[in-house]
Every structure is written in C-alpha cells, then in structure tokens.
Amino acid sequence: MDFETIISSLDLNEQPSTVSVASTWSQGRTVFGGLSAALMLKHMLNRLNDKNRKLRSFNCNFVAPLIATEPFTITTTILRQGKRVTQLESRIEQKNSVCLVSLACFGGQCPSNIQVEPQSKPRILNPDIKSANTIQYLEGAFPAFIQHVDLNIQAGDMPFSGSEYNELHGWMKFKHTTQITFPELYILALADAWPPTILQLCSKPSPASTVSWYIEFLQPLNIDSLDWVGYEAITHQAKDGYSIEDAKIFSKSGELLALSHQTVAVFDS
C-alpha cells in the first residue's frame, strides 16, 4: 500500500480514528516516524477543515515505540481557534499507552508591509540527479519503509561508516505517487526518511531514535508536482548520547520549502 493510499483512508475521518500499518512501512519494530507524523497531520487537517489556514509549524515528540501491524488510535483536539491562528494537538495511543504527541499551528494570511525573502539556497545539491546515487533497497540491510522511497545521496556517507563528515545532502521522493492532496504531508513524511546525520559518524551499527522534531513550512509552498525534493542536514552538536540536527528542504528549482530541527538519541557505546 503506497503513501497516498494510507493517508487517504476514510478511517482518518473518525474521531478518534483506529488505524494499523503494514510491516512494509516499519522502521525496526516501529512504524516509520515520517508516516506516523503524517497520519497525525492528516487527522488534524480533517478536524480543521479550513483550506484558508495553512500549516506554519509541526512539532512531534516520539514518546514510545509504535508497533507496526498492531492497531492504534489517533485523537485530535483543537486547543484554540482564533481570528488568524488555529492550534491543534494530536496523540497516538497503542495498548493504552501514549506513543506520539504532536502540536501544529495553522495560520491564515493577512495584509502586511513586511516581507523578507528566504536567503537560503542549496549549497551542494546537483540538479542532475544520477540514478547510481539512489539507495537500492536490500531487505534486512535497510528499514522496511525504504522500499517505498527513493533517497539519492549527493554528499555525506552511509550510516555506521565511521565518517568524519557531519552533513548529509541529497534528493528524496516516494516511488509511487499519484497526486498532491496536501504537499506538507508529502514533505513531512519524506523529511524523516533520511537517517540521522550522526549515524555516519558511528563506526559500528548503533541504534538511534528521534526524541523530538520541529519543522516549519514556508507559505505558500512553491511545489506543484511530486518530483524530487532536496534535503540538506547537519549535526550541529553531539554529546552524552544526544545530537542536535538541522535540515533545510528545497524544491527541485532551489526554493526553500521547510526548516527542520531534531534531537536524536544514539546508543553507540
């Protein structure tokens, strides 16, 4: 089942919704974090039901493992709906335990004399995407969900290679996509598909887990097709088993789409 089919499920119209995800979308024993975050965002969109309020920010805390193939519930609450901004909270629970908690801010446009254009441009991304740089899925060697996405590495190294390079740059897309129902869903899920940049610094296989994730979307999004999307990430600091990672997401034409910030726990000792 592809990404578009999953997030288009009519079950997500229910409040709360009961959902299960196939093992092909797993990341170890858990559901791929980008998909679980996208499911919460889609549930929020169904509750919001206002196309004039665009997603400004999405914050997610990964509290506990969300086991693939087992049913879980998604519950969304509108915390406040003001004249311009709506704040929502979504939770995923499985077996009476909280697994993920997210907050999102949706805001409508209003007249303003202040306008600052994004200054960030891709530094390394090459628009000439060579298929030889795309990761080929091997069962057992990569998380199962990788079979649904294409990751094309432009700079950086593979996880557990003992690299001294703390950046990771590349292109990303889903293998099977049909339409854009809401581009932020597409970008949100893909932005979590890359391994944390800290893993390439590890010299041996080491578990890692995102603890918290905050992503901001530039509006309006200049993306009109499900083509390659650029990704540039860097580990700013790592110590005592945690790393701080920032990423920028670009359209294929080089326009900044989103800014991402993660705290990652790594178990390499």
| Residue found under tokens 């335990």 | 97
Query: 208-217 and 26-27: which strand pairing?
Result: unpaired
Asked whether the predicted pLDDT for residue 223 surpasses 80, the reply is no
- The domain segmentation of the chain, as residue ranges, is 3-108+125-266
Tens of pLDDT, residue by residue over 38-89, are: 999 999 999 998 989 999 999 999 999 999 999 999 999 999 999 999 999 9
d(CA 108, CA 85): 6
Both tokens of residue 260? 């991402």
d(CA 195, CA 192): 8
- Which amino acid appears at position 14 of this protein? E
The CATH architecture that domain 3-108+125-266 belongs to is Beta Barrel (2.40)
Tell me, what's the pLDDT at 150?
95
d(CA 73, CA 229): 30
Determine the 3-state secondary structure of 225 from DSSP.
coil
Tell me, what's the pLDDT at 145?
96
Q: pLDDT confidence of 123, banded at 50, 70, 90?
A: confident
- Which amino acid appears at position 33 of this protein? G
Predicted structure pTM score: 0.94
Tens of pLDDT, residue by residue over 147-192, are: 999 999 999 998 899 999 999 999 999 998 766 678 999 999 999 9
Stretch 240-261: mean pLDDT: 94
d(CA 251, CA 223): 7
Give me the helix-helix angle, 183-191 and 33-48, nearest 10°: 160
Q: What percent of the chain has pLDDT over 90?
A: 74
Angle (CA) 86-247-163 rounded to 5° is: 155
